[in-house]
Structure 1
């Protein structure tokens, strides 16, 4: 039998042995399944009254992901494929949700959209964030432009950072050390280190949160040899280093008015390679500085909120044959009034907007002077969106969520998007069964790069238009068992693609034909044996048009987790992931042409255990890819083999 399979079986057996040996231990309180949802309405509603199936990654789950990246955590959610999350830590990420692309996903942090205007598709780089600073993540799938604006076509990822506790001072220290090795290199050298420290508390009317974290990894090359490469060339390691500094201070002036001021500095540096199967010693640096405030005025049955953030972002790529530098600015705000009537009608009326601009520079090599290619006087646009949303919840099970938004764009005509989301919930014996349906439209404006890039830009681009139909059913029993099945179908119009106009001259253009994507998501969670045993799993089927199929999106993907509270002090879990075969393409540096390839399917097993060593100290250990499965997320680029890590969490 293969050694890796033996190791997987051993980890499963250890879990089972603990499970039966420790059943008589005192049960530790386990966080209940979430009972409220916020993302689909901006109100905390009972889950049975929401017309969506929303996934929440709790703080407890995040604590059990210590030392992992935000992308890795998200990659376990139904309908989500974060391509690059299992490769070298500095690998660029692609967000494929329900068959969509980066530009169709909105990422929000503490209630505001985050974005990098210099990226080709405006996305925010999740590599800038640290899991240690996050309290929870809520994922709302489907078109959600009415509440969250342009780009919210396939999903909204709402990230909430940690909040202060009631004590005057609370301190938390976390540290993780481990390996960062490929399938071929199994020497188990310590080469990955993740550390964080945080302080928070409440001093009468003043609250504060400050934190610092860093992540360093080495000993793994981004690219690896192609299958037909018979040379004896070696691939050098590509290091990754990130640090995060954040602070948030709040003051409660009265029972009605509260103000919070925040700021952060996030930066990562990483080495990267030339391309598929091509080693190099290139360097990149990405930095984000941001600041803003949130003001909340509360009154009977409602509150008025002003939330805004200003971000400065800078990225450099230094290679032997080219170099680029971009500096961009992104200002976003959301002003809205929430009002509820007799716990039946919930209304949100507001104005959401943003300003984006950036400068671009290029050079012939890392040693040459930069020349400006994109000017922020031209690469600049504003969005102002008034919106309204209404939720009605009845006492006989019928609920409906409707909304509309007028997108006012400085470069395009006004566009109205809307959504309607009825649902019906039948409640019985602390259980419910819910049927849901939604129809939503979305509007995706081209990015500044797609419009104004000197080599590839096209100022004649039209915005993309999406419409999504979603229907499903959810069953919940005693908050310990939940099953859901959701079907989705999305139509895309004016799809923006990178087109060869002839003679290897490429430009961004709207594709004339419409595209259809549809699929199915199945999710299940259960807590058994007096909440000691938790079992969860999900299955996703995604069908795309042929013209879109070669984008590393699996047709079938499945995740499963089994965890057990071994005792009042110990918990262990085993994770499984299956990813179907995917089409891919790469640029062959030998033939100077693009070639199509197929990436094989793969299965991953991860094992985790923690133990409450002291009242204020928890230790943990983990083994990822315990079967040492060999696979690729991107053709010609390596992934992580079997790796081990240990760490601790100390709090006062």
Structure 2
């Protein structure tokens, strides 16, 4: 199953996913979301998560959050590289074993020569040993559903001057996933020989020009996703072509302005046993000029912005935001930041929704959100940080499905989501870091499917010495429901991780034990989940 990213009670279509600042999605999918299974974690440098409604900067879909996945970059050395590999188990909670059922390897080559820089990354992963469906009798193992993924990435850069860099990239990501079926009579998932093969191709250019007062950036991209399902021979193809041109101008050290224009064209093709969509039958394009003004000072900080979405389906839509904050300095290292935000956001109809709209509907309107936030961030020296945020969101014109006409419609009424988030980081000594967070979401039960009201995470990192670290992660997920009013009980998971650098830090050894106490839980009703599993690996830098 595609991973769900539920931020502040929202779902995948309410989150924008970026790779190196460029939006990624599958226009042929019903939610126009991005399948995170396409990515290799070994090609990722870090992940940034920005919560809240940010459509002013990031456009459609940025109603609950933005996930920016930053890939690894080229080294300043003439030639550098790394090889990473691991092996591990892949067992369910009911059928523990120590068989090696997962293996992954990644090769990264990168460097800089004169005015050129380059990065080439290859990854392969194979996983088996687990059945997608759990089955009615937990004591009987169903057939394994293997998963295989291949990733290739190339990034090239040319800097003719210190002020100009021209970058290009290309990636090819492919996975094959076996999965089980659903018995509508018994209401359970059963063994089946279904296979999904998904191929994602991405290319783009990323020139950047720096001048005395600012920086001009151009991001141009093309994405194609092909999905084939057997034995039904279903075919899906999604294409996205777009650009984002923006200029960040610095008036003074306290005042900056970002101006830009983003555009995207989407098209799809679909052929199944029940329906077909020819290329050009369901398509959309839009142009979004936007501006954001930032004022900085030691005390007051203000960000205001606006965006106009000019869309081929419904015309234009206007969004804006205002985000003030104020810093109170008790000492140079003890600071209280008070923050607030009011913003509007939107989600354009997906291609599936546009194609399936009622004939009587001239146009599907975008989903509209209003978002209010208020909170604080308290820093006490370099030892302690504590923050809390309350949020309130109104969702209107949600695009739904009319089961009497089998068509897409704009739902009437307003849907509300509200809650709060708190987080803490405490560093009593240099070698020990404790962090924890908790979130609560309150909204209608019918909108909380698979979304728990309460979630909590905890992490303890202990640095044994300069070369050795050990950490423990704990997670609590509250009870929730799945489709069919099926209960998903609450659960607690504890993981442990260890890594050590050897051979003058050229080799890193790592190991992990996940779900240490072999907790029995389900994230999706009827699907298997992993029990206690082990992983061993190493990374060699050269």
TM-score normalized by the length of structure 1: 0.80
Asked if residue 496 in structure 1 is aligned to residue 406 in structure 2, the reply is no
Equivalent position to 2:512, from 607, 622, 629 = 622
- Give the Å deviation of 1:324: 1.4
Q: Tell me the secondary structure at the aligned position of residue 268 of structure 1.
A: strand
- Distance of 2:245 and 2:265 partners within structure 1: 15
Higher relative contact order (CA 8 A, sep 6+): 1
**Structure 2 unmatched runs, 5+:** 183-187
**Structure 1 unmatched runs, 5+:** 1-90, 365-371, 586-594
In structure 1, the residue matched to 2:300 is 398
- Distance of 2:206 and 2:539 partners within structure 1: 30
In structure 1, the residue matched to 2:539 is 649
- Distance of 1:340 and 1:454 partners within structure 2: 45
Query: In the alignment, is the contact (CA less than 8 A) between 1:483 and 1:524 conserved in 2?
Result: yes
- Distance of 1:179 and 1:546 partners within structure 2: 37
Cα distance change on mapping 1:295 and 1:93 into 2, 3 Å: same
In structure 2, the residue matched to 1:97 is 7
In structure 1, the residue matched to 2:152 is 245
- Give the Å deviation of 1:179: 0.2
Equivalent position to 2:83, from 160, 168, 173 = 173
Deviations 1:183-202 (A, max 9, x none): 12112100001110101111
Equivalent position to 2:256, from 327, 343, 346 = 346
In structure 2, the residue matched to 1:575 is 473
Equivalent position to 1:382, from 264, 281, 285 = 285
- Distance of 2:362 and 2:4 partners within structure 1: 25
- Distance of 2:249 and 2:45 partners within structure 1: 26
Matches within 5 A, 1:537-552: 537-549=436-448, 551-552=449-450
In structure 2, the residue matched to 1:72 is none
- Distance of 1:133 and 1:537 partners within structure 2: 27
Equivalent position to 1:519, from 407, 419, 429 = 419
Number of positions where the alignment pairs a residue of Structure 1 with one of Structure 2 = 535
Asked if residue 314 in structure 1 is aligned to residue 204 in structure 2, the reply is no
Q: Tell me the secondary structure at the aligned position of residue 127 of structure 1.
A: helix
Q: Tell me the secondary structure at the aligned position of residue 280 of structure 1.
A: strand
Equivalent position to 1:475, from 378, 381, 384 = 378
Asked if residue 431 in structure 1 is aligned to residue 334 in structure 2, the reply is yes
Deviations 1:472-524 (A, max 9, x none): 100123344211100011000011223422xxx64332221210000110011
Query: In the alignment, is the contact (CA less than 8 A) between 2:146 and 2:178 conserved in 1?
Result: yes
Q: Tell me the secondary structure at the aligned position of residue 392 of structure 2.
A: strand
- Distance of 2:35 and 2:103 partners within structure 1: 21
- Distance of 1:542 and 1:323 partners within structure 2: 40
Cα distance change on mapping 1:570 and 1:457 into 2, 3 Å: farther
CA RMSD across the alignment:
1.8
Q: Tell me the secondary structure at the aligned position of residue 42 of structure 2.
A: helix
Q: Tell me the secondary structure at the aligned position of residue 253 of structure 1.
A: coil
Asked if residue 184 in structure 1 is aligned to residue 73 in structure 2, the reply is no
Deviations 1:569-603 (A, max 9, x none): 21101100000000112xxxxxxxxx312110000
Higher strand share: 2
In structure 2, the residue matched to 1:637 is 527
Q: Tell me the secondary structure at the aligned position of residue 343 of structure 2.
A: strand
Deviations 1:370-394 (A, max 9, x none): xx71012121111100000000012
Deviations 1:427-475 (A, max 9, x none): 2222311010000101111100112149999774321100100111001
Equivalent position to 1:566, from 447, 453, 464 = 464
In structure 2, the residue matched to 1:254 is 161
Equivalent position to 1:222, from 124, 132, 136 = 132
Q: Tell me the secondary structure at the aligned position of residue 181 of structure 2.
A: coil
- Distance of 1:166 and 1:324 partners within structure 2: 46
Cα distance change on mapping 1:431 and 1:301 into 2, 3 Å: farther
Asked if residue 410 in structure 1 is aligned to residue 312 in structure 2, the reply is yes
Asked if residue 532 in structure 1 is aligned to residue 441 in structure 2, the reply is no
Cα distance change on mapping 1:436 and 1:247 into 2, 3 Å: same
Query: In the alignment, is the contact (CA less than 8 A) between 1:112 and 1:332 conserved in 2?
Result: no
Q: Tell me the secondary structure at the aligned position of residue 13 of structure 2.
A: helix
Query: In the alignment, is the contact (CA less than 8 A) between 1:621 and 1:646 conserved in 2?
Result: yes
Cα distance change on mapping 1:240 and 1:314 into 2, 3 Å: same
- Distance of 2:497 and 2:511 partners within structure 1: 6
- Distance of 1:136 and 1:339 partners within structure 2: 27
Equivalent position to 1:263, from 158, 163, 170 = 170
Cα distance change on mapping 1:244 and 1:405 into 2, 3 Å: same
Q: Tell me the secondary structure at the aligned position of residue 640 of structure 1.
A: coil
Query: In the alignment, is the contact (CA less than 8 A) between 2:511 and 2:536 conserved in 1?
Result: yes
Matches within 5 A, 1:298-337: 298-319=210-231, 322-337=232-247
In structure 2, the residue matched to 1:198 is 108
Query: In the alignment, is the contact (CA less than 8 A) between 1:449 and 1:457 conserved in 2?
Result: no
Deviations 1:186-235 (A, max 9, x none): 12100001110101111111111110011110000011123xx59x9651
In structure 1, the residue matched to 2:185 is none
- Distance of 2:153 and 2:359 partners within structure 1: 37
Deviations 1:584-624 (A, max 9, x none): 12xxxxxxxxx312110000000111111222001011000
